[in-house]
Amino acid sequence: MNHKERMEQGLIYNPNLPEITGDQFVYMDKLWEFNQLKPSQFAEKERYMKEMFAECGENCYIELPFRANWGGKNVHFGNGVYANFNLTLVDDGDIYIDDKVMFGPNVTIATANHPIDPGLREKAMQYNKPVHICENVWIGAGTVIVPGVTIGKNSVIGAGSVVTKDIPENVVAVGNPCRVLREIGEHEREYFYKKERIDWENLGDISYTPLG
């Protein structure tokens, strides 16, 4: 098994070999072009994302600049994904981002990791573990998500969190390390900020199935 195959299987490998970096630079060059687009070039942005990413659904938008270690090659976007500026995806491994996920500014998702063993790190050895952000998750500004993590459907990650373990669905989780603060339920359906109530009657036609 060569090192490129080891990389694809989540095993320890050398990321600096020419057969790996040669491919990587092709994708990074495309990402550089993407970052030169004007804010008004919506159609061009969409076209680039569909070319760069492993998968990209409809109505996705990224505020530039956007960074990805493999130029988005291993990024899987669902539909309606929104990312504020400075999203950084260390996409040496697969990153799955489901429908209607939102990212605040300066979020980092890393799939790449290095062995703790000093000898292996000295040789720049690496391994990758996938990250999965499930449907309708909101990731607050400045959050860091480490390799191997899954964040469950509808959950909210508070700004500045460091997510080191899986987060279940339908919860608010915050902190370093990130921990569940509470479940999302009736309180969130009544209040949008502290004691300010949601005026549903003035919001137009908003149809959805409440949690639970």
For the annotated catalytic residues, the residue numbers are 114
Instruction: Please compute, for residue 126, the number of CA atoms within 13 A of its CA located in the half-sphere on the CB side.
Output: 21
Cα dist from 143 to 86, 128, 158, 159, 164, whole Å: 12, 19, 8, 6, 11
Q: HEC states along 49-81?
A: HHHHCCECCCCCEECCCEEECCCCCCEEECCCC
CA atoms within 13 A on the CB side of 166: 9
